[in-house]
Amino acid sequence: MAHNHHSCGDEHHHDHDHHEEANERGFQDNLYTHINKTNVVALNSTGKGNEVIKPWNERLDEQKYLESDADDQMIIRVPFTGSVKLHALLLKTGPSEKTPAKVTLFANEDGLDFEDVNDKKPLQEFEIAQGRDVGNYSLKTVKFSSCSSITLFFPASQGADTIQVYYVGFLGQWTERKENPVITVYEAQANLADHEKIQGTDSAWTAPQH
């Protein structure tokens, strides 16, 4: 499968030198408990998807991971249990040439697959550096202010036939999704003034004088 590699310009803000900040914010703002883990989907993967949705204290664990199947592309779709405002993407991938070259992000695209992913413009994308640590990628919050799901697309590896993903996490704010209000239709009350008029006349009826 042909892949087009291009530079992401100044989009690739991975904060590998700020692990202390990631550790502090990771536990406080981590959205792990607000991910609908049962419905996480991984396309072209040897696993189901939720293997890489781990609690913060297991982020460095390499026992469970996803590996691409037919080639070096993968899509991971992560639904949330409410509406989220995302601040950062957390990723642990690799090792070495099995590290994805980059990741592109889409919000609320629940049907995105390999047939149409290249026709969609991602909200943001990042180049991924090789390493065994968790990368902290700062998101443009204005573009991810009301997300019910996030789709990650990994278009190519850094040289290997497959890619591996160990951990996917998010930092942000969660709010309960507002359900559609129940609308009750009440029968319109009759206007008593209308009943005081004689049918066929425009004025109220008055009794004749004797």
**pLDDT at residue number 9:** 40
**pLDDT at residue number 192:** 53
pLDDT at residue 206 tops 50 = yes
pLDDT band at 177 (very low <50, low <70, confident <90, very high): confident
pLDDT at residue 52 tops 80 = yes
Residue 11 CA: distances (Å) to CA of 1, 105, 135: 25, 12, 14
Q: Which domains does the chain have, with CATH numbers?
A: 9-175 (2.60.120.470)
| Mean pLDDT in residue range 63-72 | 96
pLDDT at residue 161 tops 60 = yes
**pLDDT at residue number 35:** 97
Which position has the higher pLDDT, 128 or 9?
128
Which position has the higher pLDDT, 125 or 27?
125
Place of tokens 């919050």: 141
| Mean pLDDT in residue range 188-196 | 53
**Are 117 and 205 spatial neighbours (Cβ–Cβ below 8 Å)?**
no
**Are 133 and 19 spatial neighbours (Cβ–Cβ below 8 Å)?**
yes
pLDDT band at 12 (very low <50, low <70, confident <90, very high): very low
The neighbour count for residue 143, using CB atoms within 10 Å, is 13
| Mean pLDDT in residue range 98-119 | 94
pLDDT band at 121 (very low <50, low <70, confident <90, very high): very high
pLDDT band at 193 (very low <50, low <70, confident <90, very high): low
pLDDT band at 178 (very low <50, low <70, confident <90, very high): confident
Average pLDDT over the chain reads: 82
pLDDT at residue 120 tops 60 = yes
Three-state SS for the chain is CCCCCCCCHHHCCECCCCHHHHHHHHHHHECHHHECHHHCEEECECCCCHHHCCCHHHCCCCCCCEEECCCCCEEEEEEEEEEEEEEEEEEEECCHHHCECEEEEEECCCCCCCCCHHHCCCCEEEECCCCCCCEEEECCHHHHCCEEEEEEEECCECCCCCCEEEEEEEEEEEECCCCCCCCCCCCCCCCHHHHCECCCCCCECCCCCC
**pLDDT at residue number 210:** 53
